[in-house]
Structure 1
Amino acid sequence: MDAVTTRRGERLIEGGRRFARKPGLIARTIAPGFGKIIDRIDAALVTGAIHAVLPDGSRRTLGGRAPGFECEVELRSWNALVRLASNGSVGWYQAWASGEWWSPDPVPLFALFMQHAERLGDTARAKGPFRHALKLAHLVNRNSHSGARRNIAAHYDLGNDFYEAWLDPTMSYSSAIEVRGDDLEAAQRRKWQALERRIGDAQTVLEIGCGWGGLAADIAGGGGAVTAISLSEEQLAFARQRNPGPDYRRQDYREVAGAFDAVVSVEMVEALGREYWPDFMDCLARNLKPAGRAAIQYISMREDLFGDYASSADFIQAYIFPGGLLIRTSEFRTLAEQRGLAWRDQTDFGTDYAETLRLWRVRFDAAVREGRLPAGFDDTFVDLWRYYLMYCEGGFRGGGIDVHQVTLVKKG
């Protein structure tokens, strides 16, 4: 990288480093012996297998009892296991970034860990003072009015030119539906159509978290008057130029007061944090007309895993989406129903998200290989972004996280 070029993505990288904990003496004391960690992982794997090369050059297969996800892992330093045992997924990424472990394809490894998360227990979770430190670091990123703007900027203001290099022409940064082959654009348009069917012939529509404006412009093209809000200056500038029609506003959802036939929100609620879920539902109830409909697409964490997940911070929260938290469907639904919003027609399509992420990674790799990423993104950032895409894909393939669409109907 040219010495005078601004290093882009620095806010995410530096933000994640606040969660870093070196595997020193305390970590080694807390973590069990290396052999015990490996034995616990081995015992937990009911299906699938990890074919591992250990730091001493020996080979061992963990699991292998029944068909399932299979992966190859080269454990280059025992430090990687110390990081995993003490600092969970944050430590496991830091071990990857430090070259302490490697795999030709980590996706099935992430899928195995997610699929067996309950059986693995705290083997791969942050624990003790490390768990508390992660939680405290995450609290700094809470989505107050000022915090939300800061958190959104850290991720989405990486630059429109960055996202344009690897997203499909719709500029959709959320799960597609019915992904067939490599035609991601068509699958993203199917997602739009599914959401638009949920709101019917609404004449006035609010979109919360409009991204680059593709969906908002599509709804407006069908005759609806669309108000589209975002906190990202970069995205709004793109939307106004490329997708005219809607009324684009830089506005926090908590500040909206209007009367709309419908509300649409696509994978925005995961950025809120649990303490702000009630505020989001208040926004829907306040802004929907009687009998109005909200079409929501959201990502959830499996119910039996949510408690442990929410009590700390994972790799995604540390490095990718500051302030975020995946949704607990039962809790989210209760909040809606308490406000007179009926929960209707939930559909689940996590395997489509896994395929969406795979295609994003294919496109991202091609952009890197062909030199189409804009200047300023160094190897550290590129490696972080690829890891993020693989980590998320594995989570969906392992079934611990899912994506849904649901219609919320305000009582008339």
Structure 2
Amino acid sequence: MLSAFATQFHRLLDRIDAGLAHGSLSATLPDGRARLLGGRAPGPAAVVDLRSWRALLRLATGGSAGWYVAWSKGEWASPDPTALFELFMRNSRKLGGTARSGGLLRMLRKFRNGLRHNSRSGSRKNIEFHYDLGNDFYRLWLDPGLTYSSAIFDEPEQSLEAAQATKIAAMLNRLGIEPGGTVLEIGCGWGSFAEAAARRGLTVHAITLSSEQERAVAERIATAGLTGVTVSRTDYRDVAGQYDAVASIEMVEAVGQEYWPAYLAAIARALKTGGRAAIQYIAIDDAIFEAYAANVDFIQRFIFPGGMLLSESRFRALAEAHGLEWRDHRSCGLHYAETLRRWRLAFDAAVAAGKLPARFDQHFIDLWRYYLMYCEGGFRGQGIDVAQITLVKRV
């Protein structure tokens, strides 16, 4: 039956071809034909074996989430999916809505995703969905410091652990406070930043919504014999008191656009006058933000429920409206691509060695490998970026 719609599918391929201003896509089609899409200017060279027309139907009706479903069902394959994701992100402006869902299905998905919004109770459920998979799982493929955010590489051959230490040092340096100063960390992960801050003589209140992370941070600080760190399961909206500085590393993506004002208001309340906040965040190209925000993508549907990448211009305007001066922007997108590549290699090695806990089946393994490739390609395509910024509370 699907073959009867082959002409329509070729029209979709024509639209993709027209949208590929940089790079190329060599596709083998279900009817046996081969097509080269793009190829007009240098860029990523992707290869796809399109085994069923149903894959394009899923792409047209489900966007990136539908494309993942098609991959999971064997309806398309590629020797290097990362190159394909890079290609689509590199050309995202010109492709426009070609690879995004639309119509009634989009409305239904937005409604369902809206039920997972980040109220206080919703945030706990969404964080638990991703971060409470178990510390034993993340320990297998993150660096020894268990830092689950982009590293900064001083040189290409630098170890991931050293590059993560470079990133943490850069964040600490932004705070501009001396030993004895107080820091609120919003979204503390497994404690790598809190430990480094404590070693500098700072007093840290680290907050998370993950029970697994709370337990891990407490054990980590105790094992290190450090003082001055308290960790609690606390929503950022419920933080009381003021601090000399605030740090938040790739937590704001879990907040959602609806709650950006509440997040920034919480930072402004927590900071003493003249205090600084160091934020590391992931943003999507402003030119495609509205189309992105109107859909439910692969990450939101399968990996981070309630998540939302930032529109830097919108987020900056909100920060300044809350009395927070925007300073010292540093972009590190390609560093994240390399971080993700290292994670994927470590993840694959753990799978090959049979080290993953038995509760994680092949479907889960495939999903997470796809997730790591998808994100790496996105950063290599430079339509998404990671950056550090300093926010200063005005006098």
TM-score tier, shorter chain, comes to over 0.9
Aligned equivalents of 1:140, 1:50: Cα separation in 2: 37
* Aligned equivalent of 2:232, options 249, 272, 277: 249
Aligned to 2:161: 185
SS at match of 1:227: strand
* Aligned equivalent of 2:203, options 221, 225, 242: 225
Aligned equivalents of 1:349, 1:126: Cα separation in 2: 30
Aligned equivalents of 1:57, 1:162: Cα separation in 2: 42
Written as runs of structure 1 = structure 2, the 5 A alignment for 1:293-304 is 293-304=276-287
Q: CA 1:342–1:32 in 2, change beyond 3 Å: closer, same or farther?
A: farther
Report the more deviating stretch, 175-184 or 74-83: 175-184
Aligned equivalents of 2:389, 2:142: Cα separation in 1: 25
Q: CA 1:105–1:182 in 2, change beyond 3 Å: closer, same or farther?
A: farther
Aligned equivalents of 1:338, 1:182: Cα separation in 2: 40
Check if 1:105 corresponds to 2:80: yes
Aligned equivalents of 2:367, 2:252: Cα separation in 1: 23
Check if 1:194 corresponds to 2:170: yes
SS at match of 1:243: helix
Deviation of 1:182 (Å): 5.9
- TM-score, structure 1 as length reference: 0.91
**Aligned partner of 2:88: which letter?**
F
CA deviation profile, 1:152-171 (whole Å, cap 9, x unmatched): 00000000000000000010
Aligned to 2:353: 370
Aligned to 1:160: 135
SS at match of 2:97: helix
Deviation of 1:181 (Å): 2.5
Aligned to 1:331: 314
Aligned equivalents of 1:267, 1:194: Cα separation in 2: 14
Deviation of 1:61 (Å): 1.2
Deviation of 1:243 (Å): 2.8
**Aligned partner of 2:188: which letter?**
C
Q: How many residue pairs get matched?
A: 386
**Aligned partner of 2:125: which letter?**
R
SS at match of 2:71: helix
**Aligned partner of 1:142: which letter?**
H
Confirm or deny: 8 A CA contact 1:180 1:187 kept in the other structure.
Answer: no
Check if 1:409 corresponds to 2:385: no
Aligned to 1:16: none
Check if 1:64 corresponds to 2:47: no
Aligned equivalents of 1:291, 1:136: Cα separation in 2: 41
Aligned equivalents of 1:71, 1:339: Cα separation in 2: 44
Q: Give the CA RMSD over aligned residues.
A: 1.5
Over the matched positions of the two proteins, sequence identity in percent amounts to: 56
Aligned to 1:150: 125
Confirm or deny: 8 A CA contact 1:182 1:359 kept in the other structure.
Answer: no
Runs of 4+ in 1 over 2 A off after TM superposition: 179-182
* Aligned equivalent of 2:145, options 145, 155, 170: 170
Aligned equivalents of 2:242, 2:96: Cα separation in 1: 47
- TM-score, structure 2 as length reference: 0.95
Check if 1:76 corresponds to 2:59: no
**Aligned partner of 1:223: which letter?**
G
Q: Where do 5+ consecutive residues of structure 1 fail to align?
A: 1-23
Aligned to 1:239: 217
Aligned equivalents of 1:306, 1:104: Cα separation in 2: 30
Written as runs of structure 1 = structure 2, the 5 A alignment for 1:386-401 is 386-401=369-384
